[in-house]
Amino acid sequence: MKVSCNVNVHHLSRVEGHGNIHIKIKDGKLKEASWEVVETPRFFEAMLVGKKWDNAPWICGRICGICSIGHTLASIRAVENAFGIVPSEQTRKLRLLLKHMETLQSHILHLYFLAAPDFVNAGSVFPLIKSHPDVVARAARLKLVANDACDVIGGRRLHPTTTVVGGFTMVPDKRELELIKTRLEGAMVDLSQTAELFRSFPIPDFSRETEFVSLKGQGDYPFIGGDLVSTDGVRMKEKDYAKMTNEYSVKQSTAKWARLSRDSFAVGALARLNNNFVYLHPTARELSESFGLRPVNHNPYMNNVAQLIECVHVTLDSINLINEILDTEWDEPRQPVKHKKGTGVAAVEVPRGILYHSYEFDKDGKIVKSDCVIPTGQNHANIQHDLKALAVEFAAGGKKDADIELLAEMLVRSYDPCISCSVH
């Protein structure tokens, strides 16, 4: 083993939120390898108490600036499950399409702006504007079509306005959907060039066996609601999410940690792919095979590739969804809501993994108790265990401090953590 190593990263850059990395190896022994989360909590679960049901999606969307659509949809589903509301087919399709477009914009943001600079020795995407203008223009183009689609369906790309309990305040203009479809067809060229770009990047060779948790697909690659599954063979109902997450607090983090069959588990694109590979669009599955990405893959850096595969899947599935929507007459956008006493739980796959919202309502439709379990919160313990294994393995290989620091940063970034979201 390498004799000594000292890595201290304060407020890791190119991730959402505030986290620190410490690695210390002294006299050939690992003294410390830790992933600290120092983000200030906002106490969403407490601030909701006493608020009427219609406040929940509006306030909870603000848990996250990247996946506000996912949080809004999870919150809506939890309220609807509590009140026994079943969304119409039209609402179901529009919500899935909206979610797909958020997944696309979030993954592209991560792949190009947050992850890629590490592979080309840049501190950010900004210098690439000069050195690789066509690559940056392609990233902007892909993100723009996804964000424009979110504007068309959700009212806006961040903190959506049309999405409400019972459906939508209004339906999108079909001509605009048609335009989005044409642009998504064009985006497939950009995505195949994105695949070639990532194929040229050396993905670090590191694996640590872990458990992967996600929704369980039943005929489709799953995004909104359904059973929960893990690669260790656990299967549970959506409403039993608390037994799937088993949250607990630790000193090194203001976000809670989670565990299931082992000390830690992982959620996100790689977990979804590991559990639902057969349900990927055939084109996406083929691309995955070409990267050597098949279930169960235990290399956390491959989450980047899994996100790329999902970009292809959601783009192709969105084109299908828009075709189906265009072929049908518009129905009423919104169904009436009647509140009642009870509890509702929602599990939704957002870009960074499976997200749960749970609310208990009194007879007036006011929130008595609420709970949100965030994907990155579920990943923190897994990041910690990876970091330790990585420090030992790479230090033994005689790598320099600067190299270990970069590989550790890349490891955390590959989870695409949303730290302020995880603390909420």
Can you give the binding site for another protein, defined by CB under 8 A? Answer: 11, 13-17, 40-43, 45-47, 49-52, 54-55, 58-59, 62-66, 68, 109, 113-114, 117, 123-126, 129-130, 136, 140-141, 143-144, 147, 155-159, 161-162, 164, 169-170, 249, 254, 369, 420-421
CB of 171 to another protein, least distance (A): 11
Q: What gap in Å lies between CA 326 and CA 318, rounded to an integer?
A: 12
Tokens of 363: 């007879």
**Residue 144 CB partners (closer than 8 Å, separation 6+):** none
Nearer to another protein, 131 or 323 (CB): 131
DSSP string, 43-93: -HHHHTTT-BTTHHHHHHGGG-SSSHHHHHHHHHHHHHHHHT----HHHHH
Nearer to another protein, 47 or 234 (CB): 47
Query: Phi and psi (nearest 5°) for 422?
Result: -70, -25
**Bridge partners, residue 25, by sequence:** 5, 30
Tokens of 85: 């509301």
Nearer to another protein, 7 or 284 (CB): 7
Answer for the pair 305, 290: CB distance below 8 angstroms, yes or no: no
Tokens of 71: 């949080």
Nearer to another protein, 51 or 259 (CB): 51
CB of 337 to another protein, least distance (A): 13
CB of 74 to another protein, least distance (A): 15
Nearer to another protein, 153 or 293 (CB): 153
Compute the Cα dihedral for 239, 315, 206, 123 and give only its sign. Answer: negative
Answer for the pair 60, 71: CB distance below 8 angstroms, yes or no: yes
Query: Phi and psi (nearest 5°) for 154?
Result: -95, 0
CB of 419 to another protein, least distance (A): 9
Nearer to another protein, 92 or 369 (CB): 369
Cα–Cα nearest to 56, from 285, 369, 389: 369
Nearer to another protein, 126 or 330 (CB): 126
User: Which helix (H) or strand (E) segment is 270 a member of?
Assistant: helix 269-276
CB of 141 to another protein, least distance (A): 7
List, in sequence order, every beta strand (DSSP E) within 239-393: 265-266, 342-350, 353-361, 367-373
Answer for the pair 110, 307: CB distance below 8 angstroms, yes or no: yes
Nearer to another protein, 176 or 227 (CB): 176
CB of 207 to another protein, least distance (A): 26
State the pairing for strand pair 228-230/211-215. Answer: antiparallel
Nearer to another protein, 155 or 204 (CB): 155
CB of 342 to another protein, least distance (A): 17
CB of 418 to another protein, least distance (A): 9
Task: Map residue 187 onto helix, strand or coil.
Answer: helix
CB of 284 to another protein, least distance (A): 24
Nearer to another protein, 2 or 183 (CB): 183
Q: What gap in Å lies between CA 291 and CA 314, rounded to an integer?
A: 18
Task: Map residue 262 onto helix, strand or coil.
Answer: coil
CB of 283 to another protein, least distance (A): 25
CB of 143 to another protein, least distance (A): 5
Query: How far is residue 352 from each of residues 49, 66, 111, 305, measured CA to CA in Å?
Result: 27, 10, 13, 13
Q: What gap in Å lies between CA 420 and CA 424, rounded to an integer?
A: 6
Place of tokens 């223009």: 137
Nearer to another protein, 28 or 41 (CB): 41
User: Which helix (H) or strand (E) segment is 235 a member of?
Assistant: strand 235-236
